[in-house]
A and B are shown apart, each in its own frame.
Chain A
């Protein structure tokens, strides 16, 4: 039996500015991501990845098109749609003076989780992400790797169906990156749908089963990881080839 997509994006357009300065950051993208997927979203800087993610999560407004998360429209049913999403943003959207524990506790509270249940979940996440020694520290006192782990734990505190990770290993050393990969694989195997953007192609190649490439605000490729590798090139080579071709087409 086919499962309903966890994320459905239809004809999404997001423009900035007006008149002559009007620019489409996202230009009519369509995506259908099945539940349980580990989905990679690739693209050069400024391609529109973070803007598209912002439209899904609510940090950006939508110019036109439709987005549903687990069947809930992100504009009309925004409360239900947002309850399904856990976000680890590219830039830390965190008050640097908050303690680690409070960051998790406040986020759980925002999602309406009662105190007893919230504290039990936080305890599990703190253990899972090896944060026990750091719960009393302010966010600004943590190392890059620890910060990423806190952001991930925070994104999971309300047990979302869809986890959106925008550059989750940026600025993290190799050892800690591998540790984060292990967490993500465990989560996906436990049934969590994950969308991952990254500039580390080996990360996408290792973790994702489906990969879409976005360039100049458009989806220029969207298929299984295996199909990218069929031409005998690595994912990195294939990615470079596709983005260069699409840039040439745009220039023409």
Chain B
């Protein structure tokens, strides 16, 4: 394992993240503050308790998850895509990295950004009194595994996209709808029965439900199914992205 190379790749990516700190850190924190304030404080004060907790407490894990997803996905997708666009991904391709090391390096950087944003959102949640923690190890598991999944998905999107429009298309038509329809702002029980069935087919539902259960101790999904979906996605996406780097899909001519 090229440990120094791997550390350098992560360091370079994290440096890039802090170089555009307004875009990568402050913007999501401002939007999280607005979400918590509007949906938690203004709208939430008019809504009865859900599953025995205040609306702000119920909705906060979803807002946290939304920000982790966006941060991890956008970091790795932009790293790969701009690397292709400016050709500087070649500096990684010509150096003695294994395909797996490249994937681990970019994925770790996306995870780091997801975690940094998560810490910021948790801080804001504490100010609004929205944070509870029921199971800390499970909470860490969900934060890290969801950040990993979206970091890998971001890499996949970065490899796939040939232009900025295709990159935006993936976010607009796949990531955003699946995320918002995964139960960030509502409980499964609020939906009609048929919609409940379709929601349970959405893997994003298990991410939101998992982190919510680790924070407020209430789960609407089958926890075992959720853990299997999450573990399967980490392994499946990791294998797929490593394979695509091995064959040089859309990065090696």
Binding site for B on A (CB under 8 A): 16, 51, 54, 57-61, 78-80, 82-83, 85, 87, 89, 91-97, 102, 105-114
Contacts and interface: CB of A to CB of B under 8 A. Distances in A.
A82 B87 contact: no
B94 A85 contact: yes
A81 B5 CA distance: 16
A92 B11 CA distance: 22
Given A87-B94, A107-B91, A109-B5, A61 B252 contact: yes
B91 A93 contact: yes
Interface residues of B, number: 31
A79 B91 contact: no
Contacts of B247: 61
Given A61-B253, A102-B15, A111 B96 contact: yes
B248 interface: yes
A54 B96 CA distance: 15
A90 B87 CA distance: 11
B253 A82 contact: no
B243 interface: no
Nearest to A56: B94
Nearest to B95: A110
B91 A110 contact: yes
Interface string B92-132: 11111110000000000000000000000000000000000
A113 B2 CA distance: 10
B8 A58 contact: no
Contact of A102 (B9, B12, B87): B12
A93 B5 contact: no
- Chain B interface, >50% SS class: helix
Nearest to B98: A79
A137 to B, nearest CB: 15
Given A54-B253, A110-B95, 15 more contacts: A58-B94, A59-B90, A59-B93, A79-B98, A89-B90, A93-B86, A93-B91, A94-B86, A106-B8, A106-B12, A109-B7, A110-B8, A110-B92, A111-B96, A112-B2
B88 A114 contact: no
A105 B19 CA distance: 17
Given A94-B88, A102-B12, A112-B2, A60 B253 contact: yes
A109 B96 CA distance: 10
B4 interface: yes
Interface of B: 2-5, 7-9, 11-12, 15-16, 19, 82-83, 86-98, 247-248, 252-253
B4 A113 contact: yes
Nearest to B252: A61
B91 A109 contact: no
Contact of A95 (B7, B9, B86, B252): B86
Contacts of B91: 93-94, 106-107, 110
Contacts of A106: 8, 11-12, 91
Contact of B95 (A54, A80, A82, A114): A82
B111 to A, nearest CB: 20
A90 B15 CA distance: 27
Contacts of A60: 252-253
A142 B3 CA distance: 32
A106 to B, nearest CB: 5
B96 A83 contact: yes
A83 B4 CA distance: 14
Contacts of B97: 79, 110
Nearest to A84: B96
A96 B83 CA distance: 11
Contacts of A97: 19
A89 B98 CA distance: 21
A87 B9 CA distance: 19
A44 to B, nearest CB: 19
Contacts of A94: 86, 88, 91
| Interface pairs A-B: 7 shortest CB-CB | A109-B8, A93-B90, A110-B95, A79-B96, A93-B87, A95-B88, A112-B4
Contacts of A107: 91, 95
B19 to A, nearest CB: 7
B93 A58 contact: yes
B252 A58 contact: yes
A70 to B, nearest CB: 13
B8 A80 contact: no
B252 A82 contact: no
A59 B253 contact: yes
Contacts of A105: 8
